[in-house]
């Protein structure tokens, strides 16, 4: 059972490592790889493997973010669109507890005024 729970983490680490180690000099090539990873992630969702899909989508996100940072002049509208699409998919598949925590109201206290005897 431990193997099953660690598999998505290993897939994510491998994909992110691949994305970080082998950046393409051409942002178009990197974008195509990211787009292919995004498509593969969507296929994993359809196949009923959301954990694997999250790993592929995070790898795609890392590639697109790298393009955005290293080549900000390259297709900024396309890069922003793809990043937003990936972020929306990730929110649907893996909602972060930090993002979905409700803000609890502060406990109400009543001030006690001292009683005075006149």
Domain boundaries, the chain: 6-95
pLDDT given for residue 99 in this prediction:
43
pLDDT tens string, the chain, 118 residues long: the values are 444 555 665 555 555 555 554 545 699 999 999 999 999 999 999 999 999 999 999 999 999 999 999 999 999 999 999 999 999 999 998 765 544 334 444 444 455 555 555 5
Here the tokens at position 60 are: 């795609």
Whether 13 contacts 51, CB under 8 Å: no
pLDDT of residue 103: 43
Candidates 30, 19, 21; CA nearest to 74 is: 30
Could you write out the three-class secondary structure of the chain? CHHHHHHHHHHHHHHHHHHHHCCCCCHHHHHHHHHHHHHHHHHHHHCCCHHHHHHHHHHHHHHHHHHHHHCCCCCHHHHHHHHHHHHHHHHHHCCCHHHHCCCCCCCCCCCCCCCCCC
What's the pLDDT at 1? 45
- pLDDT at residue 116, as a whole number: 57
């Amino acid at each position: 059972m431990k193997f099953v729970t660690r598999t998505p983490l290993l897939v994510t680490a491998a994909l992110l490592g691949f994305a970080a180690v082998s950046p393409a000099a051409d942002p178009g090539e990197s974008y195509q790889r990211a787009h292919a990873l995004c498509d593969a992630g969507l296929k994993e969702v359809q196949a009923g493997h959301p954990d694997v899909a999250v790993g592929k989508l995070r790898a795609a996100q890392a590639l697109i973010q790298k393009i955005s940072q290293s080549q900000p002049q390259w297709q900024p509208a396309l890069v922003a669109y793809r990043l937003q699409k990936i972020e929306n998919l990730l929110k649907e598949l893996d909602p972060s507890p930090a993002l979905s925590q409700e803000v609890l109201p502060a406990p109400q206290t009543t001030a006690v005024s001292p009683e005075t005897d006149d």
